[in-house]
């Protein structure tokens, strides 16, 4: 199927979404996605940051779509023409949505463990406006533990539902979910219950913001002071392929590996994530690739090479 | 642990049979209504866990649904719950006045319960009764064309009724 | 013109026997002599449009139903009436429960459906009982159940209660709710006609829509199309409320002048003694509000009629919509700012919270309006409201976002002076 996105034409198989097609052209200029996650079934459609304009529905139907559509949940049709960054309407809509995602966000990046690797920070930087006219009170929820290893800062949550899909699709019995309605909606277990399945830690990695963070890493370090290294170990529960975040020889935290769009393809078990915090637990493969636009890359550690290696 | 009587368990099975096999989750709303009515007018965690067990659901599925719908009380209420509509059309014909009248009369604010546990006052959104406004939902009935006099006699009647039950 | 409410005042018409004596269920007997597709064609010819609010062609909706999937097909009646100003379905079901059942039977036959659900809002518990009784009566007389009137056609109808959520009136949220889930609208496509209830092909129709079908079967699509004007065919139930002398439900032939509907003693009976018309919300809280002069005449000076087209004349600048038929009249004592705040609070309360523009935006709108109404408004708040509404409108999963945005945008468009007066009298105005 032929699809044209921002003037660039490409061929994709039928069943491809606009977002996937746009990512094939270039992951950087593709629409931002805060809720869609390709490895989690049913995800997407909710945050509305990936809205794009269809200027021609298909080769047969040359009419534009009535409304902006979510790129993550809209399938490409043959001959479809899409505007993403070239459409003022799309950029304006996106700016509005970023603002709405931020009006109740605490903007507590200086004390948030996610800062530096936060999709909402990046989204605001790339697609947001410089200010807001929001002058009302912000919504507040208490900070909670959900399980022994995970901290929930509901104030920061954008209700992407990814953690719910992780619990549904990777763990045997989901015990947390989205409670209440409207802007009172919150992630929770309703009655104090530990989320303690063996794969629950993946909720942290799929969380696009600092709502779910690793308690074993809490306030230990800013991510850009840590050195992320690809590492592996023999594990019977998962693939054992991880990133260990080092400070000196200390393992500050362990995460799953993310691809170039920031998604985990191989989820890891809680054993690898929370219980193996010694350097000798791991075979270090080498530095994780860090995009040069990321604040984490300011360590320049990846480029540190001896003259003999050059 | 709450438990339905045999007759009600039979009713639960009847409700489940309205939906295709394997789709018993569809019975959740009707059974939550039944449970709320049966177990004290609200849904305690134990009640919801019981409903989950009846339908083969994990408890969180029930919590998620129960907290979404406003008819389910997540905390105990008074014996009689006055649910007054405060949406536009009712307000055009005096529902705000009725609410403050009840507040003064019962000495409580909307959202509260009288100390004797008899009355809870709630503001609710449109009850589809705009032509007979102002309106309140009281249990399974609507009381329409509300006036201060109607409120007076209603409260009187309910107090007598409660006394009667107590004796 | 009474097509739906005909016989509604007959004593005992909610009972099977009385209903039957007055010609009830005749369309079920007639349908068995017709091919299902003949009924679909008759409904197409009738021009009947969805009476829940969207006004989409019913015949068209029916013809989208996937007949080839091999999966069971469902018909779901949307009786989750909750649009502020709307109480026609409740009125109708209280009086004529059998007419709805009859409509469901003939529509199911036309669509090849063997299981139908009526999703009734949970607050209307007495109607749930009435409908269940009516279903039992119809069944005991052979009009429902297996092999209806000895034919090969079988149908079961079940009543399903809602539990307090306006959003479940949105058809895909209703289906989620019917599946026992939170009432979250689905991301479309796929539409219910392809993947609806339990992923099976499903038609969702409003009470009033289904109730019109027996008449169409009996009298033909052409006869129905002969009523009304242009593409607004047939009759419509209008629930009239607010500051009028005779609130209630009226059945009108589409095309009646708005002015006649407001002032005639056959309908609203005019406003209360000494009051004048200030504004009209013609189709439930979601449609744009109109000031008096645009309510009864279009911007071009033509008389405004109760039709889908005439009410929309002038578009969003100076028109509105027929919507659900929730007709709210505001007189000169009504405060537009207060009413707008009230509706904003309603939409904030009822937003399901699934998608971000609506979840966050409806709360913002309410907070700003609340400030203005309570004397803490600023001049720039007025344009801010318009800007927030734009950030929501057209960006959400379902039409709820538009429904929340339109009343505010239109109130400011037509009554800006009143908003300015509110902020200039603000307590902390500097």
Which chain C residues touch B87 with a CB distance below 8 Å? 84, 285, 342-343, 346
Measured CA angle at C64 (ends C58, C68), to 5 deg: 140
pLDDT tops 50 at residue B29: yes
Q: What is the pLDDT of residues C15-60, one digit of tens each?
A: 999 999 999 999 999 999 999 999 999 999 999 999 999 999 999 9
The interface predicted TM-score of the complex, written ipTM, equals: 0.96
Domains and CATH numbers, chain C: 16-226 (3.40.50.11540), 229-331 (3.10.20.600), 336-428 (1.20.1440.230)
B90 and B136 together in one domain: yes
Q: What is the DSSP string of A37-72?
A: -TTSTT--SSS-TTEEEEEE--SS--PPPSS-EEGG
Domain end, chosen from B43, B68, B93, is at: B68
B52 and B107 together in one domain: no
Whether residue B74 lies inside any domain: the answer is no
C-alpha span between C298 and C307 (Å, rounded): 13
Cα dihedral: C404, C409, C412, C413 (round 10) = -150
Among partner residues C84, C89, C161, which is closest to B87 by beta-carbon distance?
Answer: C84
pLDDT at A293: 75
Q: Write out the two tokens for B110.
A: 């909307």
B to C CB pairs, distance under 8 Å: 140
Domains and CATH numbers, chain A: 2-101 (3.10.20.740), 104-130+138-219 (3.30.70.20), 221-301 (no CATH)
B42 and B95 together in one domain: no
- What SS3 class is residue C419? helix
Whether the CB of A185 is below 8 Å from some CB of chain C: the reply is yes
Q: Which of C292, C226, C215 is nearest to C7 (CA)?
A: C215
CA distance B76 to chain C (A): 17
Counted domains in chain B: 2
Instruction: Tell me if A182 and C182 make a contact (CB, 8 A cut-off).
Output: no
pLDDT at C430: 42
Residue C410 φ then ψ, to 5°: -75, -35
The pTM (predicted TM-score) of the whole model is 0.95
Instruction: Tell me if A175 and B60 make a contact (CB, 8 A cut-off).
Output: yes
Q: How does the average pLDDT of chain A come out, rounded?
A: 93
Whether residue B14 lies inside any domain: the answer is yes
Range of the domain at B102: 80-166
Among partner residues C351, C356, C394, which is closest to A67 by beta-carbon distance?
Answer: C394
Instruction: Tell me if C356 and A184 make a contact (CB, 8 A cut-off).
Output: no
Count how many Cα atoms sit within 13 Å of the Cα of residue A281 in the half-sphere of its side chain.
Answer: 20
Domain end, chosen from B68, B95, B118, is at: B68
pLDDT at A302: 56
Whichever domain contains B120, its CATH number is: 3.40.30.10
Nearest-CA residue of chain A relative to C368?
A136
B155 and B93 together in one domain: yes
Whether residue B1 lies inside any domain: the answer is no
Q: What is the DSSP string of A236-270?
A: SSS--EEEEEEETTEEEEEEE-B-TTS-BSS---H
Whether residue B158 lies inside any domain: the answer is yes
B90 and B146 together in one domain: yes
Nearest-CA residue of chain C relative to B21?
C198
Residue C426 φ then ψ, to 5°: -60, 145
Q: What is the pLDDT of residues B158-167, one digit of tens each?
A: 999 887 766 6
Whether residue B51 lies inside any domain: the answer is yes
CA distance B136 to chain C (A): 11
Whether residue B75 lies inside any domain: the answer is no
Q: Is the peptide bond before A77 cis (omega within 30 degrees of 0)?
A: no
pLDDT tops 90 at residue A203: yes
Sign of CA dihedral C341, C347, C350, C355: negative
Q: Write out the two tokens for C95.
A: 């009086």
B63 and B88 together in one domain: no
Among partner residues B20, B29, B137, which is closest to C198 by beta-carbon distance?
Answer: B20
**Residue B111 CB: number of other CB atoms within 10 A?**
9
C-alpha span between C285 and C169 (Å, rounded): 14
CA distance B8 to chain A (A): 27
Instruction: Tell me if C339 and B92 make a contact (CB, 8 A cut-off).
Output: yes
Nearest-CA residue of chain B relative to C80?
B128
CA distance C124 to chain B (A): 8
Residue by residue, pLDDT tens for chain C (430 residues) are 899 999 999 999 999 999 999 999 999 999 999 999 999 999 999 999 999 999 999 999 999 999 999 999 999 999 999 999 999 999 999 999 999 999 999 999 999 999 999 999 999 999 999 999 999 999 999 999 999 999 999 999 999 999 999 999 999 999 999 999 999 999 999 999 999 999 999 999 999 999 999 999 999 999 999 999 999 999 999 999 999 999 999 999 999 999 999 999 999 999 999 999 999 999 999 999 999 999 999 999 999 999 999 999 999 999 999 999 999 999 999 999 999 999 999 999 999 999 999 999 999 999 999 999 999 999 999 999 999 999 999 999 999 999 999 999 999 999 999 999 999 987 654 4
By the 8 A CB rule, do C261 and C306 touch?
yes
Whichever domain contains B47, its CATH number is: 1.10.10.1590
- What SS3 class is residue A10? strand
By the 8 A CB rule, do A259 and A265 touch?
yes
C-alpha span between C410 and C415 (Å, rounded): 8
A to B CB pairs, distance under 8 Å: 29
Which chain A residues touch B63 with a CB distance below 8 Å? 177, 179, 190-191
Residue ranges of alpha helices (H) inside C281-399 are 292-296, 308-312, 315-318, 336-350, 356-373, 379-392
Domain end, chosen from B68, B101, B118, is at: B68
Q: What is the DSSP string of A154-167?
A: GGG-----HHHHHH
Instruction: Tell me if C357 and A48 make a contact (CB, 8 A cut-off).
Output: yes
Which chain C residues touch A96 with a CB distance below 8 Å? 357, 390-391, 395
pLDDT tops 80 at residue A306: no
Instruction: Tell me if B72 and C164 make a contact (CB, 8 A cut-off).
Output: yes
Query: C 29-68 residues with CB below 8 A of B?
Result: none
B120 and B146 together in one domain: yes
Residue B123 φ then ψ, to 5°: -95, 130
Chain A interface disruption, residue of C172, C185, C187, most A CBs within 10 A: C187
């Amino acid at each position: 199927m032929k699809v044209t996105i921002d003037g660039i034409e490409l061929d994709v198989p039928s069943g491809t979404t606009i977002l996937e097609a746009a990512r094939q052209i270039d992951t950087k200029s593709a629409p931002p996605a805060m809720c869609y996650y390709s490895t989690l079934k049913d995800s997407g459609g909710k945050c509305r940051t990936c809205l794009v304009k269809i200027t021609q529905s298909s080769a047969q139907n040359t009419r534009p779509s009535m409304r902006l559509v979510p790129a993550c949940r809209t399938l490409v049709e043959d001959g479809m023409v899409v505007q993403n960054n070239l459409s003022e309407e799309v950029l304006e809509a996106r700016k509005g949505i970023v603002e709405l995602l931020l009006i109740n966000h605490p903007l507590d990046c200086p004390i948030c463990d996610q800062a530096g690797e936060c999709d909402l920070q990046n989204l605001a930087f790339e697609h947001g406006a410089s200010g807001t006219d929001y002058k009302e009170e912000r919504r507040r929820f208490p900070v909670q533990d959900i399980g022994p290893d995970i901290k929930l800062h509901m104030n920061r949550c954008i209700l992407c539902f990814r953690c719910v899909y992780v619990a549904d699709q990777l763990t045997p019995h989901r015990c947390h979910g989205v409670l209440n309605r409207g802007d009172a909606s919150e992630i929770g277990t309703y009655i104090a219950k530990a989320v303690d399945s063996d794969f629950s830690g993946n909720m942290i990695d799929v969380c696009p913001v600092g709502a779910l963070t690793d308690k074993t890493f809490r306030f230990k370090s800013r991510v850009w002071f840590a050195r992320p290294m690809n590492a592996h170990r023999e594990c019977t529960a998962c693939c054992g392929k991880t990133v260990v975040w080092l400070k000196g020889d200390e393992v500050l935290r362990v995460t799953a590996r993310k691809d170039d769009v920031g998604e985990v393809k191989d989820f890891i078990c809680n054993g690898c994530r929370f219980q193996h915090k010694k350097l000798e637990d791991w075979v270090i493969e080498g530095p994780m690739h860090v995009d040069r636009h990321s604040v984490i890359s300011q360590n320049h550690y990846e480029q540190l090479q001896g003259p003999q290696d050059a | 642990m709450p438990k339905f009587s045999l007759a009600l368990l039979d009713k639960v099975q009847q409700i489940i049979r309205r939906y295709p096999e394997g789709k018993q989750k569809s019975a959740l709303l009707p059974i939550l209504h039944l449970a709320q009515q049966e177990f004290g007018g609200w849904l305690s965690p134990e009640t919801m866990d019981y409903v989950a067990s009846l339908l083969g659901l994990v408890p969180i599925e029930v919590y998620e649904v129960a907290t979404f719908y406003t008819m389910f009380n997540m905390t105990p209420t008074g014996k009689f719950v006055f649910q007054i509509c405060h949406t536009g059309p009712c307000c055009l014909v005096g529902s705000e006045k009725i609410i403050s009248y009840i507040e003064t009369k019962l000495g409580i604010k909307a959202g509260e319960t009288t100390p004797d546990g008899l009355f809870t006052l709630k503001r609710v959104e449109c009850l589809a009764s705009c032509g007979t406004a102002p309106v309140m939902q009281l249990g399974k009935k609507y009381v329409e064309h509300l006036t201060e006099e109607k409120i007076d006699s209603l409260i009187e009647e309910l107090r007598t009724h409660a006394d009667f039950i107590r004796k | 013109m009474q097509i739906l409410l005909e016989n509604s005042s007959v004593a005992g018409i909610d009972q099977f026997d009385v209903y039957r004596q007055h010609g009830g269920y005749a369309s079920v007997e007639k349908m068995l002599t017709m091919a299902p597709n003949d009924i679909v064609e008759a409904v197409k010819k009738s021009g009947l449009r969805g009476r829940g609010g969207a006004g989409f062609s019913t015949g068209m909706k029916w013809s989208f139903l996937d007949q080839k999937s091999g999966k069971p097909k469902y018909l779901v009646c949307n009786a989750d009436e909750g649009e502020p100003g709307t109480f026609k379905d409740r009125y109708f079901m209280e009086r004529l429960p059998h007419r709805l059942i009859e409509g469901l039977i003939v529509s199911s036959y036309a669509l090849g459906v063997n299981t139908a659900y009526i999703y009734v809002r949970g607050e209307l518990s007495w109607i749930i009982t009435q409908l269940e009784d009516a279903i039992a009566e119809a069944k005991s007389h052979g009009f429902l159940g297996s092999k209806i009137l000895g034919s090969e056609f079988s149908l079961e109808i079940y009543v399903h209660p809602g539990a307090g959520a306006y959003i479940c009136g949105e058809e895909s949220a209703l289906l989620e709710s019917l599946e026992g889930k939170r009432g979250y609208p689905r991301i479309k496509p796929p539409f219910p006609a392809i993947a609806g209830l339990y992923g099976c092909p499903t038609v969702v129709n409003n009470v009033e829509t289904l109730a019109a079908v027996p008449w169409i079967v009996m009298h033909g699509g052409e006869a129905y199309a002969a009523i009304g004007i242009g593409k607004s065919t047939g009759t419509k139930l209008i629930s009239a409320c607010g500051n009028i002398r005779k609130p209630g439900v009226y059945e009108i032939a589409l095309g009646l002048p708005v002015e006649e509907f407001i002032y005639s003693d056959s309908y609203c009976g005019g406003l209360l003694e000494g009051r004048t018309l200030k504004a009209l919300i013609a189709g439930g809280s979601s449609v744009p509000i109109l000031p008096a002069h645009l309510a009864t005449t279009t911007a071009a000076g033509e008389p405004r009629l109760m039709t889908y087209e005439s009410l929309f004349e002038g578009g969003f600048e100076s028109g509105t919509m027929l919507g659900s038929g929730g007709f709210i009249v505001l007189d000169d004592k009504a405060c537009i700012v207060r009413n707008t705040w009230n509706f904003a609070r309603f939409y904030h309360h009822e937003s399901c919270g699934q998608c971000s523009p609506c979840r966050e935006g409806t709360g913002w709108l309410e907070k700003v309006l609340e400030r203005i109404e309570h004397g803490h408004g600023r001049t720039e708040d007025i344009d801010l409201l318009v800007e927030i509404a734009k950030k929501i409108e057209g960006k959400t999963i379902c039409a709820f976002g538009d429904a929340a945005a339109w009343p505010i945008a239109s109130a400011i468009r037509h009554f800006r002076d009143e908003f300015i007066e509110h902020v200039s009298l603000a307590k902390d105005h500097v």
